[in-house]
């Protein structure tokens, strides 16, 4: 008789506590999965955490509430978060969860984009402030996680605020060591697939550019039908997409060389393959602008990959000297600071305890996987044959990962609790802003 009233009172008291958090606006939203309560929290963040009394911006996060005594999973995105979703760790741990977009992306955009405040340290401070706000409400162990650029973001947060969480699980998080790190390209050129497969991919790339006029005509039709403008020019977009193809093919699949159009393929089949793997939408004006913050970070602090030109270098006309700076904000000062990642890697190797790194063996970004020295209490797992969408439950070493994490958190973790519902990997290369399966970028 009294249980519903008691639960109602408990919910009301929890909501009231949320509403009293300083600088936070709370909006109840429909709960997902097994969560009884969910909220969108609009959090006022300093643009410059070194001067918190100055300009602020609003960062919207999604909180799924289960029980204040259960663990808290803190999911950090490297991009935007458009909707709430269940994370793999939230399900496995039967935990509360909070999902957080990255500063300067949708739902975390300052009114004035001063690029100098888009740094690893400032982003980490955003996340530290969220932990500080919610820590008194959730007393269980905290674990944070993220995928690809989100996994990098979790690592960066842990570097500067190592005591905010008990453990970190970073999925497919590369750690680049140069402005144009060659290691992913080394994998594509020499390791992924067999010689015949790599030759088929190269032949397809060349065929695309040898039929330049037909492909540009198709791209123009694509632009008209989608309503997406390509101010960079159809030839430029085509060449960047063709250069991207082998990376995209291995990063998210299908990783089946039979799917690559061979001799006798029609123009329509060849064009569709490029769009399916790379996503031609990514070179249109709104999406290029959407990814300005990511490329600013890549080109100033985190580094990125090199561009694999060799198969088609002699066929490039629109962009004979391609550069990822073409995708960065045109008004930004792009000065690469290698010391940022040098500091991160050195810390991870010596002091990065209770960290789990998960990679896919077919993912080119695994060329930039963390290199552990044994000095830190950390675990690295590379799943053979897996791509950028690898999950804990898809690992051969699943039990090792769960037992290691469970030991750090002081709990047993059953794989049967994992549901893999609603979670989409957010890749370092361009994900779909609105959610959905990222087509290789």
H or E segment to which residue 378 belongs: strand 378-383
How much is the pLDDT for 12?
62
Which range (74-83, 200-209, 378-387) has the least confidence? Answer: 74-83
Percent of the chain clearing pLDDT 70 (strictly above): 92
Structure tokens at 412: 């047993």
Q: pLDDT at residue 41 above 70?
A: yes
Give dist(CA 361, CA 384) in Å, integer. 4
DSSP secondary structure string for all residues of 335-388: ---THHHHHHHHHHHHH--SEEEEEETT-GGGGG-----SSSSEEEEEETT--T
Give dist(CA 4, CA 10) in Å, integer. 10
* Dihedral sign computed on CA atoms, order 413, 173, 167, 36: negative
Instruction: Name residue, tokens 């530290």.
Output: 128
Q: What angle do CA 229, 428, 377 make, to 5 degrees?
A: 170
Q: What's the chain's average pLDDT?
A: 92
* pLDDT, tens digit (0-9, with 9 covering 90-100), for 341-360: 999 999 999 999 999 999 99
How much is the pLDDT for 421?
44
What is this structure's pTM? Answer: 0.92
DSSP secondary structure string for all residues of 82-97: -S----HHHHHTT-EE
Which residues share a beta bridge with 100? 76
Contact present, 185 and 208 (Cβ < 8 Å): no
User: How big is the chain, counted in residues?
Assistant: 441
Give dist(CA 146, CA 397) in Å, integer. 19
How much is the pLDDT for 431?
46
Q: pLDDT at residue 436 above 60?
A: no
* pLDDT, tens digit (0-9, with 9 covering 90-100), for 376-431: 999 999 999 999 999 999 999 999 999 999 999 999 999 988 764 444 433 444 44
How much is the pLDDT for 255?
77
How much is the pLDDT for 417?
80
Indicate the pairing of strand 37-46 with strand 56-65: antiparallel
* Dihedral sign computed on CA atoms, order 150, 154, 157, 159: negative
Which range (233-247, 252-266, 320-334, 391-405) has the least confidence? Answer: 252-266
How much is the pLDDT for 94?
96
pLDDT band for position 440 (50/70/90)?
A: very low
H or E segment to which residue 325 belongs: none
DSSP-assigned letter for residue 235: H
DSSP-assigned letter for residue 333: -
Give dist(CA 368, CA 182) in Å, integer. 9
């Amino acid at each position: 008789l009294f249980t519903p009233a008691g639960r109602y009172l408990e919910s009301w008291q929890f909501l009231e506590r949320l509403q009293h958090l300083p600088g936070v606006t709370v909006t109840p939203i429909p709960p997902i999965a097994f969560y009884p309560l969910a909220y969108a929290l609009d959090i006022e963040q300093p643009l410059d955490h070194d001067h918190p009394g100055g300009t602020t911006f609003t960062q919207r996060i999604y909180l799924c509430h289960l029980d204040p005594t259960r663990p808290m999973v803190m999911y950090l995105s490297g991009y935007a978060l458009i909707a709430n979703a269940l994370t793999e760790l939230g399900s496995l741990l039967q935990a509360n969860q909070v999902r957080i977009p990255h500063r300067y992306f949708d739902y975390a955009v300052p009114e004035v984009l001063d690029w100098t405040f888009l740094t690893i340290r400032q982003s980490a401070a955003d996340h530290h402030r969220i932990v500080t706000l919610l820590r008194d409400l959730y007393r269980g162990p905290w674990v944070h996680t993220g995928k690809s650029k989100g996994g990098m973001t979790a690592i960066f947060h842990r570097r500067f605020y190592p005591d905010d969480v008990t453990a970190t699980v970073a999925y497919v998080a590369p750690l680049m060591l140069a402005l144009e790190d060659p290691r992913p390209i080394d994998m594509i050129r020499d390791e992924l697939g067999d010689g015949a497969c790599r030759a088929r991919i190269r032949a397809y790339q060349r065929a695309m550019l040898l039929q330049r006029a037909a492909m540009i005509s198709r791209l123009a039709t694509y632009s008209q039908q989608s309503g997406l403008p390509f101010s960079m020019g159809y030839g430029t977009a085509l060449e960047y997409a063709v250069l991207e193809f082998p990376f995209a093919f291995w990063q998210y699949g299908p990783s089946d060389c039979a799917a690559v159009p061979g001799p006798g393929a029609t123009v329509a089949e060849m064009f569709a393959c490029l769009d399916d793997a790379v996503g031609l939408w990514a070179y249109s004006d709104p999406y290029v602008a959407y990814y300005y913050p990511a490329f600013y970070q890549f080109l100033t602090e985190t580094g990125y990959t090199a561009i694999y030109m060799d198969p088609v270098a002699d066929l490039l006309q629109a962009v004979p000297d391609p550069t990822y700076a073409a995708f960065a904000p045109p008004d930004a000062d792009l000065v690469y600071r290698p010391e940022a990642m040098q500091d991160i890697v050195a810390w991870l190797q010596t002091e990065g305890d209770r960290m789990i790194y998960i990679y896919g063996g077919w993912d080119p970004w695994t060329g930039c996987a963390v290199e552990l020295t044994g000095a830190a209490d950390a675990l690295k797992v590379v799943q053979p044959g897996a791509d950028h969408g690898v999950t804990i439950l898809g690992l051969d070493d699943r039990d090792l990962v769960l037992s290691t994490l469970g030991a750090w958190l002081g709990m047993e973790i059953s794989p049967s609790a994992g549901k893999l519902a609603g979670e989409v990997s957010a890749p370092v290369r361009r994900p779909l802003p609105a959610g959905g399966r990222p087509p290789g970028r």
